[in-house]
Amino acid sequence: MNRRELFYGMLFASLAEGQSPVKVKSLLEQKIDNITDPFVFMQLVEIGPGLQSGAHRHPGPVFGYILEGELLTQVEGSAPTTYKAGQVFYEPAGHIHMQAKNPSKTVTTRFLAVVIGKQGQPPVSAG
């Protein structure tokens, strides 16, 4: 066992026992199926007050974490949902993302998006 493996082994053991100053809070756990040649995109998305994206889709599932503001989003087959700072969301692979809107007239929405895609393909395409 090298030094790095030993360090991470001790870190994770102390986290599991609750003895570490590092705090870990699980926000979302989601099973992912049928991804060949996976590729991960991590993106910081900012939407200005009152603005929204056009309809689009992603090649794989999307995991999001709202950093600031609110996000009104709707994926085909589901009702519109508003997420606030500190909340997470999940979008299934291949569904059309009908809207991603900032409902505020004064505050910019910022969120972290992790898109599981495929090597050689962009993380987003027109709906």
Q: Domains of the chain (ranges plus CATH)?
A: 27-126 (2.60.120.10)
Q: State the average pLDDT over residues 69-80.
A: 93
Average pLDDT over residues 102-126: 87
Edge-to-edge strand order for the sheet containing 81-84? 81-84, 70-75, 96-101, 56-57, 125-126
Read off the pTM.
Answer: 0.74
Give the chain's length: 127
Instruction: Give 31's pLDDT tier (boundaries 50, 70, 90).
Output: confident
Return the pLDDT at 25.
Answer: 79
Percentage of the chain with pLDDT > 70? 83
Residue 86: its pLDDT value, please? 96
List, in order, residues 6 or more apart from 11 with CB less than 8 Å away: 20, 22
Asked if the model's pLDDT at residue 1 lies above 80, the reply is: no
